[in-house]
Structure 1
Amino acid sequence: MERAERARLRAETRLAGTIADFFLDADARLDDRTRLLLAQVLGAIVGAIEWDIRRHAARLLVGGGATRAGEAMLKAGAGTVLERLTRAGLLRDEDLMDELIARVRHDLIAASLPVEVAEPDEASLLVRLAGVPDSVVASAASALLAAESRRRVANEQGHVGGSELPAELHHRLVWWVAAAIRDGLKTAARDSDRAITDAAQRSLAAHDEGERPDAVATRLAAALDARPNELAAVLVESIGDRRLSLFVAVLAHALGIAFDQARAITLDPEGDRLWLALRALDMDRPTIARIGLALSEADPRRDIEAFADALDAIVSIGVEDARASIAPLALNRDFRMALRALARTERR
C-alpha cells in the first residue's frame, strides 16, 4: 500500500513537471546542449564537495576510534546527496542557478566562437601576453591559460577539481551538502556530526575564488588596463582567440562594472545592452560588426539577420546617450537589487 502511494506521488510529480515544461516560453527553455552540460556541471560540483566532506569526515572518525562510523560515512549510495538536495528544492536557488547557467552558456559559446587569427604564424593573444616583459601581465595571462585549460578539461571529462563558485555560493552549497550527508546516515551520533562539521569547514577554508577563470581574467584586464585607442583591438582579438572570459573582463574593466554584469550583457541573445555598452566605449561599426557576427555564429539563440538590419541604428547611437543608458550598471550591486525590489513592490 505504501509502495503504491509512493509510486502514485512520483507519477503526479512527473506529470506536473512535464506540464510545466510544455508551457514554458521558447526563450525560457534550455536547449539540449545547455541542459546536458548544466546537469553535468551541477552533479560534478555537488559530487566533488560531497566526496571531500565524506572522505575527511571518515578520516576523522577512524582516527578517533569510530571505525564503523567512518566506514558508514564512505558507504553512502552514489548520488544520494544530489537527489536529496533536488527533492528539497535547495538546488532551485536563484543565485546558484543563475551563476551555473551563465557559466555553462559562457563555456559553450566560447567553445563555438570562430577562430580569427590576424597572421597565420602569429601566436594566440594569451600566449603572446604570457611572454611580455611586464611580469604582472605575463603572470595573469599564464594563470588564465591554466584556469581555462582546467575548465575545458573538466567540461570534457565531466569532473571538477573544485566548485569554481563565488565564495558566497560555495559556502551555501557546502553546508547544504553537509546537511544532506548527515540526513542520509542511518544512525547519527555526536562524533559523526562533529566530523561532518569539521570536514565542511575544511572545504570552506580550502576554497579560493581567486583561482576561478572569471577572477583571473579580471586581474588580467586590470593589469592590461587597455587605453581607449587599444580597446577595440583587445576586444576583437579576445573574441577571435576564443577567450570570452578575457573579452568580458576587458569590457567590465572599461565600463567600470562587475564581471558578472558584463557577462550577462554579453550572453544576452537580444544583444541590445551589449551594443549600448560598446557604443558607450565609442566602438565603431567594423568593431561592433565583428563582435556581433562572431557571437551570432557561436550562439544559435541570436538572430544574425536582425543584427545586420539593426547595425546602422546601433552605430547611430551617440556615445553620451549610450553612456547614460548603461550608467545604472555601475551602481553598487546591493543598491541595484534594493532598487529593483522597491520597484517590484510599488508595481503591486
Structure 2
Amino acid sequence: MMGLEDERQEMGRPASARWLTDAARALDSVESRVGRAAGDLFRSDGPDLSDQHRAQIAQLMRALIGAIEDDLRIRLIDSLADEPHPELLAALGSATMPIAQPLLERTRLLREADLVAAMLRRVDEHRLALMLGRDSPYHVADLAQRLLDLGDAAIAEATMALLVAESRRYDPFGDPALARTDLPPGPHRKLLWAVAAALRHYLIRHHGLPDSQADLLLAAAVRALLAEHDDADTLEGRADALAALLDAAGLIDDALLVDALEEGWLALFTAAVARRAGIDSAGVWSMITDPSGMMLGTVLRAIDCGREAAVTMLWRIGSAEGADEEAIVARADAFDALGRREAAEAVLIWRLDPNYRRAVIEIGEGGRRR
C-alpha cells in the first residue's frame, strides 16, 4: 500500500508521469492475470478463474487438442498405409480414446502464457459480446450491412471474410469455440508440436515403433499442417485486414467505433481502435479488458476520440463488465482530465513490440528487478 509520503511524491509528479506509471501497472495487471490463469487452469480450487472460465477454457483446450490429434492421426494413417502395422492403424483410426490430452495435462505445456492468453481472450470476448447483444454466429450487424453496401468490392470481400471467420467462434450450442486455425502463430506451432510429442510417446510405448520412424512421421505431419496454416485467415487477421481497408478509405471515425461496439462486433472494434492508435490488436484487447477500466479511456484520448463517443464506449463496456455507475463516471471524469499528449505518452509502450513489453515487466519499472 502506498504511504503518505509516497502519495505526496506521486501527486507532485507531472500528470504525464503518473499516467505512464498507471499504464505500466495496467500492463503488469494484464500479463499477471494470464500467469495466474495458467496456474489455476487445472486446479479446481484456484482463486483467479471462475468456475465458468475454467470450464470454458478446459472445453476449448479439449476441442483444440482433439482436433489437432485427429489431423495428425489421419496423416499418420496415410503415411503408414503400406506398413505392416494393422494394430497400430486400427488404433489410430479409433476415435474412442484421446491420446494426447491425458499426457499433456500432466505437463506444463498447456500452461504456456500465449496459449492461455488466446483461450482467455476467446472466453472473455464471448462473454462481453453476449452482454453487448451479439449472441449468435448468424448475427449480421447493421454496420456489417452498411459496409457491404458501400459499393467497395475490397471492403465487401473483407467484411464477408470476417463474418465467415466469426462463425467459427461458436460451437453448435452457442458456447465459445476456438478453431486451430484461429490460434495465433506462436501458440499454434507450440500446440501442434506438443500434441505430436504426445503421439510419439504413444507410438513408441504402446506399439513399439522405432524412435526415428516416429520422429520422421510426426515431423512430416506437423510440417504439412503448418504449411496449410494461413495467419491471415484467423479472426484477428481478418479483422485487421478489414480495418486496414477502412482506414485507407478514411472510414474509421468515432461513429464507426461506437457502432461496432454497440453491436458487439468486438473483433472489428478492437482492430479499428488498434489501427487508429498504431497498436497491435492484442494490446488493444488487453486495454479493453483492463480491470481498472483506465486504459481504454487512455487510448481513446490518445486517438483524439470525441467526448460523447468515448463516454458512450466507456459506459457500454463498463456496464457489460458489471462496473457500478460511480466507477463508470470516474472513468469518464478521468478521460476528461487527461490531455491527449499525456495519453499518447501513457500508451507509447503499447506501440512497441509485445516482447519488449513483456521484458519490461520481467525486469521491473525503472530497471529495478522485482
> TM-score normalised to the size of structure 1?
0.83
SS in 1 for 2:350: helix
Aligned counterparts of 1:154 and 1:215: Cα–Cα separation in 2: 23
Sort the Cα spacing of 1:161 and 1:313 in 2 relative to 1 into closer, same or farther, 3 A.
Answer: closer
* 1:131 equivalent in alignment to 2:149: yes
Aligned counterparts of 1:136 and 1:324: Cα–Cα separation in 2: 35
Q: Counterpart of 1:56 in structure 2: which amino acid? A: R
Aligned counterparts of 1:180 and 1:45: Cα–Cα separation in 2: 14
* 1:81 equivalent in alignment to 2:103: no
Sort the Cα spacing of 1:36 and 1:155 in 2 relative to 1 into closer, same or farther, 3 A.
Answer: farther
SS in 2 for 1:152: coil
1:35 — aligned with what? 54
Which one of 177, 180, 189 corresponds to residue 195 of structure 2?
Answer: 177
CA RMSD of aligned residues (A): 2.7
Aligned counterparts of 1:17 and 1:147: Cα–Cα separation in 2: 32
Deviation, 1:132, is: 2.1
Aligned counterparts of 1:43 and 1:174: Cα–Cα separation in 2: 13
2:80 — aligned with what? 61
Deviation, 1:61, is: 0.8
Residues 240 and 271 in structure 2, CA contact (< 8 A), matched pair in contact too: yes
* 1:246 equivalent in alignment to 2:268: yes
Sort the Cα spacing of 1:276 and 1:228 in 2 relative to 1 into closer, same or farther, 3 A.
Answer: farther
Moved more, 38-47 or 331-340: 331-340
* 1:333 equivalent in alignment to 2:351: no
* 1:189 equivalent in alignment to 2:209: yes
2:320 — aligned with what? 298
Alignment of 1:60-209 (within 5 A): 60-75=79-94, 78-114=97-133, 124-153=142-171, 156=174, 161-185=179-203, 186-190=206-210, 191-209=213-231
Deviation, 1:305, is: 2.9
Sort the Cα spacing of 1:158 and 1:298 in 2 relative to 1 into closer, same or farther, 3 A.
Answer: closer
Which one of 301, 313, 317 corresponds to residue 279 of structure 1?
Answer: 301
Deviation, 1:218, is: 0.5
Moved more, 148-157 or 55-64: 148-157
Percent identity, aligned pairs only, is: 30
Moved more, 240-249 or 154-163: 154-163
Deviation, 1:63, is: 3.4
Aligned counterparts of 1:170 and 1:98: Cα–Cα separation in 2: 12
Q: Counterpart of 2:202 in structure 1: which amino acid? A: G
2:39 — aligned with what? none
Residues 181 and 230 in structure 2, CA contact (< 8 A), matched pair in contact too: no
Residues 163-186 of structure 1: CA deviation (Å, up to 9, x unaligned): 411112111110100111121230
Moved more, 163-172 or 152-161: 152-161
SS in 2 for 1:62: coil
SS in 1 for 2:187: helix
Aligned counterparts of 1:179 and 1:66: Cα–Cα separation in 2: 20
Between the two proteins, the alignment pairs up a number of residues equal to: 320
Aligned counterparts of 2:171 and 2:43: Cα–Cα separation in 1: 33
Sort the Cα spacing of 1:155 and 1:208 in 2 relative to 1 into closer, same or farther, 3 A.
Answer: farther
Moved more, 101-110 or 255-264: 101-110
Sort the Cα spacing of 1:229 and 1:84 in 2 relative to 1 into closer, same or farther, 3 A.
Answer: closer
Sort the Cα spacing of 1:69 and 1:193 in 2 relative to 1 into closer, same or farther, 3 A.
Answer: farther
Q: Counterpart of 1:92 in structure 2: which amino acid? A: R
Residues 293-321 of structure 1: CA deviation (Å, up to 9, x unaligned): 22123223x34431123422321211111
Aligned counterparts of 1:258 and 1:318: Cα–Cα separation in 2: 23
Sort the Cα spacing of 1:265 and 1:94 in 2 relative to 1 into closer, same or farther, 3 A.
Answer: same
Moved more, 221-230 or 91-100: 221-230
Residues 182 and 188 in structure 1, CA contact (< 8 A), matched pair in contact too: no
Aligned counterparts of 1:153 and 1:76: Cα–Cα separation in 2: 20
Sort the Cα spacing of 1:155 and 1:147 in 2 relative to 1 into closer, same or farther, 3 A.
Answer: farther
Residues 147 and 212 in structure 1, CA contact (< 8 A), matched pair in contact too: yes
Deviation, 1:17, is: 4.5
Residues 81 and 180 in structure 1, CA contact (< 8 A), matched pair in contact too: yes
Residues 114 and 297 in structure 1, CA contact (< 8 A), matched pair in contact too: no
Deviation, 1:222, is: 0.7
SS in 2 for 1:282: coil
SS in 2 for 1:69: helix
Aligned counterparts of 2:207 and 2:100: Cα–Cα separation in 1: 16
1:214 — aligned with what? 236
2:336 — aligned with what? 315
Sort the Cα spacing of 1:337 and 1:213 in 2 relative to 1 into closer, same or farther, 3 A.
Answer: same
Deviation, 1:64, is: 3.7
Sort the Cα spacing of 1:175 and 1:313 in 2 relative to 1 into closer, same or farther, 3 A.
Answer: closer
Deviation, 1:229, is: 8.7
1:48 — aligned with what? 67
Q: Counterpart of 1:62 in structure 2: which amino acid? A: A
2:20 — aligned with what? none
SS in 2 for 1:340: helix
Residues 284 and 315 in structure 1, CA contact (< 8 A), matched pair in contact too: no
Residues 154 and 160 in structure 1, CA contact (< 8 A), matched pair in contact too: no
Aligned counterparts of 1:284 and 1:227: Cα–Cα separation in 2: 20
Aligned counterparts of 2:219 and 2:208: Cα–Cα separation in 1: 13
1:3 — aligned with what? none
Residues 141-181 of structure 1: CA deviation (Å, up to 9, x unaligned): 11111111121246726766534111121111101001111
